Amino acid sequence: MNLVLDASVALLWLAPQTNPAGVDYAASTLKALRQSQAVAPSLFAFEIANVVTKLEYKEVVTEADSQRYIAVLERLDITVDQATAAHALGDTLNLARRYKLSAYNAAYLELTLRTGLPLATLDAGLAKAATTAGVSIFGAPGFNQRH
């Protein structure tokens, strides 16, 4: 594995207009993932599905757009961490408390701490907590993306 992938990055591949400032970062992460691997907590697919349905409902994207996006996700080497739930009421809860994160964001932080992998995220609160916890942010200045 080369990085932990947050849904905030992956969702810009579907709807870049929702966060224009993050488009370049999301694109560079996607480019890197075409030649490497990512891991995500088990809630990743639920987060993606939730936002996809909201974007379709609001007519930001069509169902056809969503299907093409899902096909892209399926071609990438993204491993779903099977131990996410086992840490939810322990380490993840404690990280959520310590850094004032949602349990969902704390799951990404817990996974980065457990694996030692850098975190690809566009969530400012999660990035701040990760940096404070000593986690590398994927693509941050000074970060070597070959790791």
pLDDT tens for residues 96-146? 999 999 999 999 999 999 999 999 999 999 999 999 999 999 987 544 333
**What's the pLDDT at 124?**
94
Task: Provide the percentage of residues in the chain whose pLDDT is more than 90.
Answer: 93
**What's the pLDDT at 1?**
61
**3-132: which CATH number, 3.50.50.60, 3.40.50.1010, 3.40.1360.10, 3.40.50.300?**
3.40.50.1010
Q: How confident is the model at residue 15 (pLDDT cuts 50, 70, 90)?
A: very high
| Burial of 78: CB neighbours in 10 Å, binned 0-12, 13-18, 19+ | middle
DSSP 114-134: HH---EE---HHHHHHHHHTT
